[in-house]
Chain A
Amino acid sequence: MVEKIKAELKATFADLAIAEESYPQSGYHLSVDLTAKDILNVARFFDGRGFYLAVELCVDYKDYLEIVYIFSIHSSLCKVKATLKLDPVQPVAPTLSGIFDCAYWYEREIREFYGVLFDGHPNMTYLFLHEGIDFYPLRKDRVPVSEQDKQELNSYSPEQREDSLSINMGPQHPSTHGVLRVVLRMDGEYIEDASPVLGYLHRMQEKMAENRTYQQFLPNTGRMDYLGAMSFNLGYVTAVERLTGIDVPARAHYVRVIATELNRISSHLLWVGAYLADLGGLSPFLYVFDDREHILDVLEAVTGSRLTYCYFRFGGLYNDVDDAFVLGTKAFVARMRGRFSLYEKLVGGNVIFINRTRGIGVIAKERARKYAVSGPVLRGAGIGMDLRKAEPYAAYPEMDFEVPTGKNGDALDMYHVRVKEMETSLDIIDQALALLADGPFMVEKAPKKLKPRKGDLYHVVETPRGELGIYIVSDESDKPYRMKWRVPSFSNLMAFPELAKGNLLSDAVAILGSLDLVIPEIDR
């Protein structure tokens, strides 16, 4: 695939600088240097071949700004990094939002963080920030926001019409699970337009990362996705280990997988409960909390925390697991296997539940690709891409598990995918427990001061909500030069306005729930 794409790229764009990269080191196979006139054609080239835009980000190298596009494909392993150098004084780049819908928000983010203007972008206004910020926060030098830019950034207001009612769903609303705000324009009970407003929990984690050593930033990762903290921890430590070349002992790998999968089950369980609460059934919430409690107890005993874990270290684990952990996990697995039939009776087989979710929020494969949705939402749409299989990390290469997919891409499919994923997680835990042998849990001589290699890395892991991508640029110091978090809920939420349009208010709640959003992760 990589060879084919390279050859085709060369054939189509003769004067393009294409270089082959070491995938194990950098996380992508090809890198392409673009000029502003090529970018749209190259994007169309990848779009035509079924690629999705995994992330679009910007790095400030002081002499120039660099826009980085990562193109990836669901059906095989081929990643291309395309870069576009911009003048730091008046940065202007063409927009990709007309080709890949997911670029719409990424470019707004770059606009407010770096001051890059995207030519042709329909809405260059604040996404996370507000008019009180008078400099571009991610620029290395202090670059003030001019009055004119401020006005432009602040000019957006959702369209209002005489004959429709506009409703603020959130930031304090029972079913936005946190502080998401969606401005709905309604015609009676029907939604004409939905526009999410982000930033109520924005903490500028990416800037924080630049000011801390790699170790110091580790606890922050669990605070982004508080429900899948273990996956975020794992993503971060594996990324940094890949960057610094630390090898992790086998035992640590297996424990990492077990802990992460337990955390994944607890996240999905919580989703089932919260989703049913969204649909008006309050009892399942308590049932899933009963199950979840067992996971939390097991994890608390080894990690010391119940929600925002910080258990993994660069080179291994914080501490070794004991027999109680193994026994507790086994007991939980045995218990959980018997619970699925209960959930099927209580939730999955309920006529009202089926009628509320069937055919609701249908996301077609093509639209899923354009929005770069990932995780259970993507698999619900029928694309069986799981990064634990596609780009295995930790001990996942040795694990044998199924990737459940849906058929119709509706909310009901997403429910079934998540429930089946819990079952596959149990299978993975079983296998990892069987493979767990005595040995060191931490690499000998773990370096006190990390020495990352110079260069960049795009590392992805599968969190309960989908593709978490961490893009790190290192300048060999013990602090990252730039760290970008490509979070799954961000792109999943982007699809929401399109899914909600024309539906009833109740359906909007069902759709929003089916995407399984965690707001602190979106806002970072």
Chain B
Amino acid sequence: MEQILDLEIVKLVIGLLAAFVFVVFNALILTWAERKVAGHMQLRIGPKEVGPYGLIQPLADALKLLGKEIITPRNVDKPLFYLGPILIFIPVLVAFVVIPFDSFLQVKDINVGILVVLAFSSFTVLAILMAGWGSNNKYSLIGAIRSIAQSVAYEIPLLLSLLAVVMMAGSLSLKEVVEAQKGVWFVLLQPVAFVIYFISSVAETNRTPFDLPEAESELVAGYHTEYSGMMFALFFLAEYTNMFIVSAITVTFFLGGYQGPFLPGIVWFLLKSYLLVFVMMWFRWTFPRVRFDQLLNISWKVLIPLAFLNLLVTGGLLKL
């Protein structure tokens, strides 16, 4: 038995299963939290009827979505249309493999951990393009096109800002990055990189004020206009999971990961992550949406040069 448990592949499968459970659970909590946050920011109180404080509400919503018919419009490109929402989900699961929830709680510590996360997160764009193109709907297509342009623009500052931290930690492994923050968190040493990373990650997850691919006042619902029932729910699930992942990466790279006094590491980790998720929700219910050209300008004209400069200064200081 011990032997079986020690096998890499078994560990991976168990890890992925745990990740899947966590993803679903996380989405349930976050949909509830988002509605509560939205409610309180909008002079309302949010869900309160189903269960205490409306906690069972997401479960009821999920059941409703499961019961809905999955409508396939005529003239859609069926393979792409069905694959889109499923593929958007895969990179999300993979990212969980390398994230260190605690010093002992990590499915696999890969020595190029961050590269795995970033490589797979780029995969999301492909899924969105499949959904947008396969839907055979003009709004979906424009949403998908926007999404690609946005991802291409924001992955660069994302990577560059993380690179500065990697240089300081001297490792691509997420665990070693966390361990390198024993004394001082990188947010203090790399404040510019932190800001760049956080802005870019909001854009990567298509959240307001960068929610152009699904801008409802312009594109109805963007790339997921034609999806219904559980297919739509998968996009939803992916969005909330992505929010958690980018927050988890931020915590790992800038906020000391699972480190903190008194409480167990996992509690610190989740606490910090969900705090960042809350900030993202706060953004959403406060800001209007930026325009497409402004969105690209922020990335290409401000964030990328700034990230390069930051990298240069970091490199120079390290050499000294």
Contact = CB atoms under 8 A, between A and B. Distances in A.
Interface of A: 165, 167, 173-175, 189, 276-283, 285-287, 290, 350, 352-353, 355-356, 504-507, 509
19 contacts: A175-B218, A280-B215, A280-B287, A280-B289, A282-B42, A283-B41, A283-B285, A283-B286, A286-B43, A350-B288, A352-B290, A353-B288, A355-B290, A504-B291, A505-B142, A505-B219, A506-B215, A509-B217, A509-B218
Interface of B: 38, 41-44, 138-139, 142, 146, 208-209, 211-212, 215-220, 285-294
B217 A352 contact: no
A505 to B, nearest CB: 6
Contact of B287 (A167, A285, A350, A507): A350
A175 B139 CA distance: 14
Contact of B289 (A173, A189, A279, A285): A279
B43 A290 contact: yes
B42 A283 contact: yes
B292 A280 contact: no
B220 A282 contact: no
A504 B293 contact: yes
B294 A279 contact: no
Contacts of B292: 189, 504-506
Contact of B211 (A280, A350, A509): A280
Contact of B217 (A278, A287, A350): A278
A283 B181 CA distance: 38
Nearest to A279: B288
Nearest to B41: A283
Contact of B208 (A280, A285, A506): A280
Contacts of B218: 175, 505-506, 509
Given A167-B138, A281-B286, 5 more contacts: A175-B218, A189-B146, A277-B217, A280-B288, A283-B42
Nearest to B289: A280
Nearest to B39: A286
B87 to A, nearest CB: 26
Contacts of B291: 355-356, 504, 506-507
Nearest to A188: B145
Contacts of B212: 506
B108 to A, nearest CB: 39
B43 A280 contact: no
B217 A175 contact: yes
B46 to A, nearest CB: 12
B139 to A, nearest CB: 7
A280 B42 contact: no
Considering residues B216, B217, B291, which has the most beta carbons from chain A within 10 angstroms of its beta carbon?
B217
Given A165-B138, A167-B139, A352 B43 contact: no
Contacts of A506: 212, 215, 218, 289, 291-292
B293 A286 contact: no
A352 B209 contact: yes
Contacts of A281: 208, 286-289
A353 B209 CA distance: 11
Contact of A356 (B41, B142, B288): B288
B43 A279 contact: no
B217 A174 contact: yes
B42 A286 contact: yes
A167 B212 CA distance: 17
A163 to B, nearest CB: 15
B247 to A, nearest CB: 22
A290 B43 CA distance: 8
A349 to B, nearest CB: 12
A287 to B, nearest CB: 7
A165 B287 CA distance: 30
Given A173-B220, A279-B217, A509-B218, A356 B290 contact: yes
Nearest to B209: A352
B112 to A, nearest CB: 37
A286 B40 CA distance: 11
A505 B139 CA distance: 11
A174 B216 contact: yes
A352 B287 contact: yes
Nearest to B295: A506
A290 B290 CA distance: 26
B220 A287 contact: no
B220 A174 contact: yes
A181 to B, nearest CB: 14
Given A277-B217, A281-B288, A355-B290, A189 B43 contact: no
Contacts of A173: 220
Nearest to A278: B217
A521 to B, nearest CB: 21
B286 to A, nearest CB: 7
Contacts of B285: 282-283
A356 B294 CA distance: 9
A151 B216 CA distance: 38
Given A281-B286, A356-B290, A504-B292, A286 B44 contact: yes
A509 B289 CA distance: 12
Nearest to B138: A167
Which 5 A/B pairs are nearest by Cβ-Cβ distance? A280-B289, A281-B288, A286-B42, A279-B288, A175-B217
Contact of A352 (B42, B142, B289): B289
B179 to A, nearest CB: 39
A386 to B, nearest CB: 29
A147 to B, nearest CB: 34
Contacts of A277: 217
Nearest to B139: A167
A21 to B, nearest CB: 47
A290 B289 CA distance: 23
A286 to B, nearest CB: 4
A276 B285 CA distance: 11
A281 B138 CA distance: 24
